[in-house]
Amino acid sequence: MDTAANDGFRAITYKSDDGLTLYARDYGGPEIADRLPVICLPGLTRNSRDFHSLALLLSTDPTTPRRVITIDYRGRGHSGRDANKANYNLGIEARDVVSACQHLDIKRGIFIGTSRGGLILHLLAQMRPDLIAAVILNDIGPDIEANGLKRIRDYLNAAPPRSWSEAVAFLKACHIRYFPALQEDDWREMAAAIYRDMDGKPVADFDPAIATQLLAIDFAQPLPDLWQYFDDLTAVPVLVVKGEHSDLIADRTTDAMRDRCPSLSVLEAPGQGHAPLLHLEPVLQRVRRFVSEVT
């Protein structure tokens, strides 16, 4: 259930460097050229719709409006599915973010990365540090907790819902213990972001191969970490938003991030888990302030 182009954004398509057609939303447009834009990168199977409410708020701010770009990675949302399923990986998706910036003539920006989006930003900081003016890592860091990833693996590979009411009920059953702060409208909004409407029924808006990849993870082995990449992020302002009930990033990880980057700020999102909705208070107020302070 995508939002019409006249509801605050322009739909953009562009090509990856290997020729795949990719999709993004442009809120505010290049007319807001006197401030750095905000580029939003979603989670593993999520898409640009996740950031719709936040993008509207930032792009229409009465004092300091920002151009906001929200991206569909390959295989998600309106972007093309990749015939080579091995291309669903952090390195290629980071290159696709660079392609989006080139297409939109963005030389530098403030990046918000939710979950996988934050992992992509770790790689981007090494590939193209000149692009990054500041970073918000939404419930993600260089170390991932195995139990949280197992939970994501299981619900992404569960049987699909057969109706919109069932989709909302499924999301609540999976997540409500981690998100007591959410109201009924928030659950419906989440469903509308995750699923696409096809003949009145919800269909998961991503290539199923992305969820299938998680089944191949050997949890008997330690998960790889990204600490060597994180160090490249510490040259810019960093805000970490951590869900109060998150099971994907641990307090010891945010403590270690602060040890390596004393200027890093950590904000807990009360009543939320993985990954927090950034347009809900009190998180929104802090995100707006962080963005407004970057020049």
Q: In CATH, what number is assigned to the domain containing residue 262?
A: 3.40.50.1820
The pLDDT, as a whole number, for residue 6 is 55
Which string of DSSP letters, residue by residue, matches 146-203? HHHHHHHHHHHTSPPPSSHHHHHHHHHHHHTTT-TT--HHHHHHHHHHHEEEETTEEE
| Cα–Cα nearest to 270, from 258, 282, 288, 285 | 282
**Angle at CA of residue 15, ends 74 and 52, nearest 5°:** 55
Q: Which residues contact 45 (CB under 8 A, 6 or more apart)?
A: 76, 156, 194, 204, 206, 210, 211
Distance CA 230, CA 224 (A): 13
The pLDDT, as a whole number, for residue 7 is 85
Tell me the per-residue pLDDT of 69-102, one tens digit each, with 9 for 90 and over: 999 999 999 999 999 999 999 999 999 999 999 9
- Cα torsion for 137, 281, 258, 236, to the nearest 10°? 50
Distance CA 77, CA 61 (A): 27
Residues β-bridged to residue 238:
135
Of the pLDDT bands very low, low, confident and very high (cuts 50, 70, 90), residue 2 is very low
User: What single-letter DSSP state applies at residue 2?
Assistant: P
The total of structural domains in the chain comes to 1
Tell me the per-residue pLDDT of 167-206, one tens digit each, with 9 for 90 and over: 999 999 999 999 999 999 999 999 999 999 999 999 999 9
> Above 80 in pLDDT, residue 3?
no
Q: Is 160 within a domain?
A: no
Distance CA 17, CA 95 (A): 8
Q: Is 50 within a domain?
A: yes
The pLDDT, as a whole number, for residue 185 is 95
Task: Summarize the confidence of residues 269-285 as an average pLDDT.
Answer: 97
- Which residue has 């309106």 as its token pair? 78
Q: Are 240 and 266 in contact (CB under 8 A)?
A: yes
Q: Is 116 within a domain?
A: yes
Q: Is 266 within a domain?
A: yes
Q: What is the mean pLDDT of the chain?
A: 95
State whether the Cα torsion 115-217-159-2 is positive or negative: positive
Residue ranges making up the domain that contains 35: 9-145+224-293
Q: Is 89 within a domain?
A: yes
Lookup: tokens for 187: 């659950």
Of the pLDDT bands very low, low, confident and very high (cuts 50, 70, 90), residue 246 is very high
Task: Summarize the confidence of residues 248-257 as an average pLDDT.
Answer: 97
Q: Are 22 and 103 in contact (CB under 8 A)?
A: no
Q: Is 204 within a domain?
A: no
| Cα–Cα nearest to 45, from 155, 167, 183 | 155
Predicted TM-score (pTM) above 0.85? yes
Among residues of the chain, what percentage have pLDDT more than 70? 98
CA 11 to chain centre: 18
Task: Summarize the confidence of residues 255-280 as an average pLDDT.
Answer: 96
Q: Is 217 within a domain?
A: no
Distance CA 76, CA 78 (A): 6
> Above 70 in pLDDT, residue 271?
yes
C-alpha atoms less than 13 angstroms from C-alpha of 260 in its C-beta half-sphere: 18
CA 7 to chain centre: 21
Q: Are 113 and 138 in contact (CB under 8 A)?
A: yes
Tell me the per-residue pLDDT of 143-161, one tens digit each, with 9 for 90 and over: 999 999 999 999 999 999 9
Q: Is 261 within a domain?
A: yes
